[in-house]
Amino acid sequence: MSTLLSVDPVSRIEGHMSVETAVEGGRVSKVRIAGNMYRGMERLLFNRHPVDSARIAQRICGVCHEVHGISSVMALEQIFKVTPPANGQVLRDMILGLHIVTDHLLHFYNLCSPDYIDYAAAAGYSGRDANLKNISDWISSSGTMFVINKTPGDYIRDKEVARRFALHYFEALKIRAEAASGLALIGGKVPFIHALLPGGITTEITTDTLMKYYHVLTKTADFVNNSFIPDVMVLAERYPEYFRIGEAYNTFYAHTSLKSKKGWLFNSGVIVDGQKQPFDYKKVKELLNSSFYNPDGSPNESAKGAYSWIKAPRYNGFPLETGPLARMAVNNDQGFRQFLARFGQSSIRSSVMGRLLARAYESRLLCNYLFERSEEFVIGKSTINHVDLQANVTGEGIGFSLAARGALVHHIKAYNGKVTDYRMIVPSTWNFGPTAGGKHGVAEKSILGTPVRFGGESGSIEVGRVIRSYDPCTACSVH
């Protein structure tokens, strides 16, 4: 006898997603994850000028806003046959790196931590800390409903821990806003930077700009080191079973990204069957069997056998997991292995806690990288090579880049100044693709076997935790 449980909608993620599970003998025995929103971002770029994609493709997602812009511009630069000057590259990396750190903060504190912490335990404070007093008053005031956590579960109810997390919940929002102003200094505004064009960055960068960027980077790095990493460790110690929950195929995928004088911060590669191999783009195929599309790629909401708007990408037939954990695995990062060893983990394996720890560890890695990278900017040298934004270009370009959630590809074909084909292969598509070709998608696979102790009408919190450990971005995954 199995029980059907669904989480519909999955909240605290980007976009519209639902999960259906069947639970047998206390474990998930069947699963289906559906992406429930479609706009047709690839198809609406058809016939527009290729440069338009630098603006429109960014708007696939307002959470990971800058990553799609950079990937699409990398593809455009191949079509325009232009490369940005060294300064332009530095600025792009400064945007990308800091953005990804802030994305990780949003995920951990604002999206994911309510799965583990009972914030209601932070109420009833009568001490001297004004911030805590305000939070306590706010939580206990009759007017606040979004913090009510009705999903039953084994939350941390310790007052001290809940208060520490409650302070950091808000501090993370503040740090993000400050970091955003650092990005806006270079890019004009965020979300959606417009200073990013094929050829480089248009902004005039002064010492003042760099000083301000350095200031917000320092603040962000302090928060990562003093709050983010210790807080993730609290969860890892309290929930050791989540090193075994949420295991997908242990296949991983990452791209070469973020350059510096020392070389690349992240290497490219694919791990299948425990073997690392070079990434070969030709082996990537998107299957449509379970998705709402016709074979020609046009949308069809009544496609036979379909249950999700997300396509199912496969590498040589394998679903690949991508994200910070995959970057660590492909890099075989020794520092991260040591970090895992603190919790008795001897190897980099796919799990809920592995993904949470990788995100925190990577944030520190990125901050350290950004301090060095930003010093490579040379005041007074050019930041952009001019291109004619109206040129009737013809050609093909592929931008292999990265997002907070994993490896990202924008593939553009243009003829005579018009986009003839636009293809995006996005991290959340890899992670949340449906079952196709006889294989579950990555997240689906990792939900199978999840022990369910707290299943109710709102679905199980355990399944919610597995889903959110990937930091799903549904708008991206469907586009």
Partner 1 sequence: MLSRRDFIKRCRDISVAVFGAEIFAADIAEGFMKIAASKRPQIAFVQGQSCTGCTVSMTYGNETDFIDFVTRLVRVQVHPNLSFSQGHGYMQLLDSVTSAGGHVLVLEGSIPARMKKACLLGEEPLYNALKKHLEKASAVVACGTCACSGGIPASGRNETGSIDIAQYMRQVGINKPLIKIPGCPIQPDRLMGTVAYIVATGRLPEMKNNIPVKYFGDLIHNNCHRFQYFSQDIYLKDFNTDKHSCLLKKGCRGTITKSDCPTRRWNGGVNVCVESNTPCVGCVNEKWPFKENIYYESRNIEDLPWNDFKKNVLGRGGK
Determine if residue 64 is labeled as part of a ligand binding site: yes
Give residue 201's identity as a one-letter amino acid code: I
Of positions 452, 459, 471, 477, contacts partner 1 by CB under 8 A: 459
Of positions 105, 195, 254, 330, contacts partner 1 by CB under 8 A: 195
Scanning 194-202, 242-250, 393-401, 404-412 for contacts with partner 1 by CB under 8 A, the matching segment is 194-202
Peptide bond into 9 cis (omega under 30): yes
Contact track, partner 1, 214-253, x by CB under 8 A: ----------------------------------------
Scanning 239-247, 263-271, 316-324, 457-465 for contacts with partner 1 by CB under 8 A, the matching segment is 457-465
Helix (H) or strand (E) holding 394: none
Name which of 33 and 106 has its Cβ closer to partner 1: 106
Q: Does 66 bind partner 1 (CB under 8 A)?
A: no
Give residue 7's identity as a one-letter amino acid code: V
Q: In this structure, are residues 61 and 427 in contact, taking their beta carbons and an 8 Å threshold?
A: no
Name which of 352 and 461 has its Cβ closer to partner 1: 461
> Could you give the CA distance from residue 427 to residue 407 in angstroms, rounded to a whole number?
6
Q: Tell me which residue has tokens 């799990």.
A: 351
Scanning 265-273, 319-327, 379-387, 444-452 for contacts with partner 1 by CB under 8 A, the matching segment is 379-387
Scanning 6-14, 159-167, 265-273, 441-449 for contacts with partner 1 by CB under 8 A, the matching segment is 6-14
Name which of 156 and 320 has its Cβ closer to partner 1: 156
The nearest distance, CB 384 to partner 1, in angstroms, is 5
Residue 447, number of CB atoms within 10 A of its CB: 25
Residue 423: alpha-carbon gap to chain centroid: 19
Q: Does 395 bind partner 1 (CB under 8 A)?
A: no
DSSP label of 204: P
The nearest distance, CB 229 to partner 1, in angstroms, is 22
Of positions 71, 203, 290, 291, contacts partner 1 by CB under 8 A: 203
Name which of 267 and 446 has its Cβ closer to partner 1: 446
Integer CA distances (angstroms), 208 to 96, 174, 185, 186, in order: 20, 22, 10, 11
Cβ-Cβ contacts under 8 Å for 160 (sequence gap 6 or more): none
Determine if residue 42 is labeled as part of a ligand binding site: yes
Q: Does 65 bind partner 1 (CB under 8 A)?
A: yes
> Could you give the CA distance from residue 378 to residue 16 in angstroms, rounded to a whole number?
44
Query: What is the three-class DSSP state of 1?
Result: coil
Length of the chain as a residue count: 479
Contacts (CB under 8 A) with partner 1, residues 163-192? 170, 173-174, 176-178, 180-181, 183-192
Name which of 319 and 472 has its Cβ closer to partner 1: 472
Q: In this structure, are residues 217 and 180 in contact, taking their beta carbons and an 8 Å threshold?
A: no
Determine if residue 473 is labeled as part of a ligand binding site: yes
> Could you give the CA distance from residue 117 to residue 123 in angstroms, rounded to a whole number?
13
Name which of 54 and 271 has its Cβ closer to partner 1: 54
> Could you give the CA distance from residue 272 to residue 420 in angstroms, rounded to a whole number?
33
The nearest distance, CB 67 to partner 1, in angstroms, is 13
Contacts (CB under 8 A) with partner 1, residues 304-323? 309
Q: In this structure, are residues 387 and 197 in contact, taking their beta carbons and an 8 Å threshold?
A: yes
Contact track, partner 1, 27-46, x by CB under 8 A: ---------xxxxxx-xxxx
Name which of 56 and 326 has its Cβ closer to partner 1: 56
Of positions 22, 27, 30, 48, contacts partner 1 by CB under 8 A: 48
Of positions 236, 367, 384, 403, contacts partner 1 by CB under 8 A: 384
Backbone angles phi, psi at 313, to 5 degrees: -75, 140
Q: In this structure, are residues 323 and 406 in contact, taking their beta carbons and an 8 Å threshold?
A: yes
> Could you give the CA distance from residue 299 to residue 96 in angstroms, rounded to a whole number?
32
> Could you give the CA distance from residue 444 to residue 447 in angstroms, rounded to a whole number?
5
> Could you give the CA distance from residue 170 to residue 411 in angstroms, rounded to a whole number?
38
Of positions 101, 197, 340, 357, contacts partner 1 by CB under 8 A: 197
Determine if residue 367 is labeled as part of a ligand binding site: no
Residue 221, number of CB atoms within 10 A of its CB: 20
Q: Does 394 bind partner 1 (CB under 8 A)?
A: no
Cβ-Cβ contacts under 8 Å for 327 (sequence gap 6 or more): 254, 266, 333, 358, 362, 402, 406
Residue 301, number of CB atoms within 10 A of its CB: 9
How many binding residues for partner 1 (CB under 8 A)?
102
Rg (C-alpha) for the chain, rounded Å, is 22
Name which of 45 and 330 has its Cβ closer to partner 1: 45
Contacts (CB under 8 A) with partner 1, residues 138-167? 138, 141-151
Name which of 204 and 273 has its Cβ closer to partner 1: 204
Determine if residue 479 is labeled as part of a ligand binding site: yes
Name which of 206 and 338 has its Cβ closer to partner 1: 206
Name which of 259 and 479 has its Cβ closer to partner 1: 479
Q: In this structure, are residues 402 and 96 in contact, taking their beta carbons and an 8 Å threshold?
A: yes
Which residues fall in the annotated binding site for Mg(2+)? 42, 424, 479
Binding residues for Ni(2+): 61, 64, 473
Residues that constitute the known binding site for Fe cation: 64, 476
